[in-house]
Chain A
Amino acid sequence: MSAGHVSVRGLLAGYGEQTILDLDELDVHPGEFLSVLGPSGCGKTTLLNVIAGFVQPSAGQVVVDGRDVTDTPPYRRNLGLVFQNYALFPHLTVAQNVAYGLKTRKVPKAEQTPRIDEVLNLVGLADYAGRRPGQLSGGQQQRVALARALAYEPSVLLLDEPLSNLDAKLRHQMQTELRQLQRRVGTTMIFVTHDQSEALTMSDRVALLNGGHIEQLGTPQEIYRAPRTTFVADFLGAGNLLPVTIIDAATVRLGDVDLPIATGRPAGSQATVVLRREHLRPLTSPGSPAAPRAVVIFRAFSGSSWQLQVQLLTPDDQPTGPIISIELPDAGATQTPPAEGTQVWLAWDPQAAVVIDA
């Protein structure tokens, strides 16, 4: 099996006058699990289709393992593809579906059978070889689709939102299984999804797409903790994106309220400060002297955590300042967060605040 290195250069793709994809470069490392993440219409499915060969770019190149495949038709690119609706051949059994890619490669019958058994075992469906897709559940069909794409050991596997049609619980389970499988087999996987928590959970790196461009590419920790643009900060996690004006080296102004945040930027400039919900704490007594005061206006219990909204007090003590969201992990029945109407002081780890361009 070859390395599984995919590189894309100068890609322009669209329909008619509309440009959907405009990518300068993307390199997928051999053996990595890369998620391509983004809102609908951002071009992620188009990118997958270009790499697979179903969409011809109007400019640019796709190179797989050193081979320029831009002009190669899809059935000669030797990639694996898993579709959102699985696309299992309804008139063939599970085993025949899995054998399909082996047949097209003229693998002798004697070698096909052990390979089919092996890959069905890998996805845990060894006993289902004789069934037809119509007799399988969604999760099982998903695994057959995976087995079918892996049977001929492609160096790269492309997955187009394969878990979207599964219910939440099954989805979480499949996320783990898929990741473990990938580590075992070592195939490069390019995984398209619109679900940011899914992308963060499963990937070695995440490419966040917006309007056909790569907004940011990095490891899950990098793009979550150090978003470079407001789009990235907003898309990942549920943060508070605060449009502020820099007052001095240690203070910014949000609306009427001053917050003790050091930005290292010139006074008078604008910026966006990202304070994630899980990094804020509402204290019932003042911590530091500059801690901003707020009133709890909303509090709800959501099982593993509490969701709060606090409204900052203006300099003249009116509870009409900006509203900040806080999420607190639940610490048991004896430790409930401050109730609605309580005055609190906000605290956070100064390292957690991220400053990005406005």
Chain B
Amino acid sequence: MTVSAHTRRRLTSLVPLLPGGLFLLGLFIVPLISTFVLSLRPTDPFYDPLPGFSTQQYVTVFTSNYYLQALIYTARMALIVTAICAVLAFPVAWLLIHARSRAVRTLIMLIVVSPLLTSVVVRSFGWRILLSAEGPINSILQTIGLTGAPLNLLSGKLTVIVVVTHVLLPFAVVTLSTSLSKIDPALLRASSSLGASPARTFATVVLPLAIPGLISGAVLVFSLSMGIYVTPLLVGGANQPLAGLRVYDQALRVFNKPGAAALSFTLFAISLTAIALLNAISRRWERRIHGQG
């Protein structure tokens, strides 16, 4: 049997993918599969996996308050954080593209991107100092007179939302700015020449055309929020009802790996559903913009 030149060429072009592919297979795909298998194992009272398959872990995830509450709380937090990031990212992303001075654009880039290159531990540490009982926020609040004694700012829903937003905002800014840069500046001038005020131009021209970029940023922020755990661990403590924290807790403190596996796959499934939904919306929107509507 002779292999045709065409097939041979196609196979050869796949060769560069082999090293990386094998690497990913061995260190990512296979472990993921074995984790999934682990999530299907029943456990004894000491959380050791027993042979055989059972849905025990998933049942626990959906019936036990410990897990379920965390999933709902995390999903809600992720939605709020995503919405806030979408709004906050806009002015920064806009200026990043349209500021006239190169120095301003570089400065914005620096402030936005360096957190991405800095360990999340460092950023969370900064918040801890900022929000501590002796920290500047508390001092200011006391000086203004809004409170008598220092407030415990290191726990609570609001703190989690603020700090997670801070950690993920750079992602939103970067994806949004890529999308904004693709909007033809002539469209903005056209809109203005037709009599639209800047606010109207934003609502009728910029926003519709920025939706795909906004959605891809939202996808990123949402899925990262669902699994986030290091930051909440440092700011707020391990007892918060966050899914990522509970996975970490079950895996490394309680040594209940099957339970942790089941919880993590569930939260992954929620993320994937949201991603699929958002991507579908984005695709429909893009079709509208590019002429098949």
Interface residues of A (CB under 8 A from B): 52-54, 73-81, 83-85, 87-91, 100-101, 104-105, 131-135, 148-149, 152
A149 to B: closest C-beta gap in Å: 8
Please tell me if the beta carbons of B195 and A104 are within 8 angstroms of each other in the complex: yes
Question: Which one, B26-34, B42-50, B227-235, B284-292, is touching chain A?
Answer: B284-292
Can you offer 18 A-B residue contacts whose CB atoms are under 8 A? A52-B193, A75-B197, A76-B195, A87-B187, A87-B189, A87-B190, A90-B289, A91-B289, A100-B191, A100-B204, A101-B195, A104-B194, A133-B291, A134-B290, A148-B194, A149-B194, A152-B194, A152-B195
Are A104's CB and B293's CB within 8 A?
Answer: no
Residue in A78, A81, A148 whose CB lies within 8 Å of B189: A81
A135 contacts across to B, CB distance below 8 A: 291
B186 at the interface (CB under 8 A from A): yes
- Least CB distance from A147 to B in Å reads 12
Say how far B267's CB is from chain A's closest CB, in angstroms. 35
Contacting residues, chain B, for A133 (C-beta < 8 A): 291
B133 in contact (CB, < 8 A): no
Across the interface, do A79 and B193 meet the contact criterion of CB distance under 8 Å?
Answer: yes
Beta-carbon contact of B195 and A83 below 8 Å: no
Q: B187, B195, B200, B204 — which one has the most chain A CB atoms within 10 A of its CB? A: B195
Of residues 144 through 193 on chain B, the ones whose CB sits less than 8 Å from some CB of chain A are: 184, 186-187, 189-193
Q: Kindly supply a per-residue 1/0 record for chain B positions 184-226, scoring 1 wherever the CB is within 8 Å of any chain A CB and 0 otherwise.
A: 1011011111111110110011001100000000000000000
Interface flags for B55-71 (1: CB within 8 Å of A; 0: not) read 00000000000000000
B186 contact from A77, A85, A148, Cβ within 8 A = A85
Let me know if A75 and B291 touch, CB within 8 A. no
Other than the given A89-B190, A89-B191, 16 more pairs (CB < 8 A) read A54-B189, A75-B198, A75-B201, A85-B184, A87-B187, A90-B289, A91-B208, A91-B289, A100-B191, A100-B204, A101-B194, A104-B194, A104-B196, A104-B200, A132-B290, A132-B291
Contacts A90-B209, A91-B208, A134-B291 given; indicate if A75 touches B193 (C-beta within 8 A): yes
Cα separation A53 to B187 with both chains bound (whole Å): 15
Q: Which residues of A contact B289 (CB under 8 A)?
A: 90-91
If A132-B291, A134-B291, A135-B291 touch, does A89 touch B192 (CB 8 Å cutoff)?
A: no
Which residues from A are CB-within-8-Å of B192? Answer: 53-54, 73-75
Best-buried of B190, B194, B198, B290 by chain A (most CB within 10 Å) = B194
- The answer to whether B189 and A91 touch across the interface, beta carbons within 8 angstroms, is no
Provide the residues of chain B in CB contact with A131, threshold 8 Å: 291
- Say yes or no: B186 contacts A75, CB within 8 Å: no
Among A84, A101, A105, A152, which residue has the most Cβ atoms of chain B within 10 A?
Answer: A101
Q: Is the interface of B mostly helix, strand, loop or mixed?
A: helix
**How many angstroms between the C-alpha atoms of A89 and B209 in the bound complex?**
9
B193–A100 CB distance below 8 A: no
Question: How many angstroms from the CA of A79 to the CA of B290 in the assembled complex?
Answer: 28
B196 touches A91 (CB 8 A): no
Q: Name the residue in A85, A90, A105 with the highest tally of chain B Cβ atoms < 10 Å from its Cβ.
A: A90
- The CA-CA distance from A226 to B193 in the complex, in Å, is 37
Instruction: For B208, give the chain A residue with the smallest CB separation.
Output: A91
In whole Å, how far is A172's beta carbon from the nearest beta carbon of chain B?
25
Q: Contacts A75-B195, A91-B208, A152-B195: A81 and B291 contacting too (C-beta < 8 A)?
A: no
Q: How far is the CB of A101 from chain B (nearest CB, A)?
A: 4
Contact indicator B187/A89 (Cβ below 8 Å)? yes
Q: How many B residues face the partner with a CB closer than 8 A?
A: 24
User: A83: which B residues are within 8 A, CB to CB?
Assistant: 186, 189-190
Residue among B190, B194, B198, B288 making CB contact with A91, cutoff 8 Å: B288
Q: How far is the CB of A312 from chain B (nearest CB, A)?
A: 51
Q: What residues of A have a CB within 8 angstroms of the CB of B201 in the complex?
A: 75
The residue that B293 contacts in the complex, of A54, A100, A132, with Cβ under 8 A, is A132
Distance of A97 from chain B, by nearest CB (Å): 9
Q: Which of A75, A79, A81, A132 contacts B196 (CB 8 A)?
A: A75
Which of B184, B189, B200, B204 is close to A74, meaning CB atoms less than 8 Å apart? B189
Asked whether A81 lies within 8 Å of B193 as measured between CB atoms, the reply is: yes
Which residues from A are CB-within-8-Å of B290? 90, 132, 134
Beyond A81-B189, A81-B190, whether A87 also contacts B197 by CB under 8 A is no
Instruction: Give Cα distance in the complex from A149 to B189, angstroms.
Output: 12
Chain A contacts of B205 at CB under 8 A? 89
- Top 4 nearest A-B pairs (CB, nearest first) are A134-B291, A104-B195, A81-B193, A87-B186
A76 and B205 CA atoms in complex are apart in Å by: 18
Q: How far is the CB of B288 from chain A (nearest CB, A)?
A: 6
Complex interface: chain B residues within 8 A of A53 (CB): 192
Task: Looking at the assembled complex, report how far the CB atom of B36 sits from the nearest CB atom of chain A, in whole angstroms.
Answer: 42
How close is B290's CB to chain A, nearest CB, in angstroms?
Answer: 5
Q: Which residues of A contact B194 (CB under 8 A)?
A: 75, 81, 100-101, 104, 148-149, 152
Report the separation of the CA atoms of residues A131 and B293 in the bound assembly, to the nearest whole angstrom. 9
A80 adjacent to B193 (CB under 8 Å): yes
Q: Please name all residues of chain A whose beta carbon is closer than 8 Å to the beta carbon of B186 when the two chains form the complex.
A: 83-85, 87
Q: Which interface residue of A73, A100, A148 has the most chain B CB atoms within 10 A? A: A100
Query: In the complex, A77 Cα to B195 Cα: how many Å?
Result: 8
Q: Nearest chain B CB to A88's CB is how many angstroms away?
A: 8
CB-CB under 8 A from B196, the residues of chain A are 75, 100, 104
Interface centre among A53, A104, A105, A149 (most CB of B within 10 A): A104
B190 vs chain A, min Cβ distance (A): 4
Q: How far is the CA of A149 from the CA of B190 in the complex (A)?
A: 9
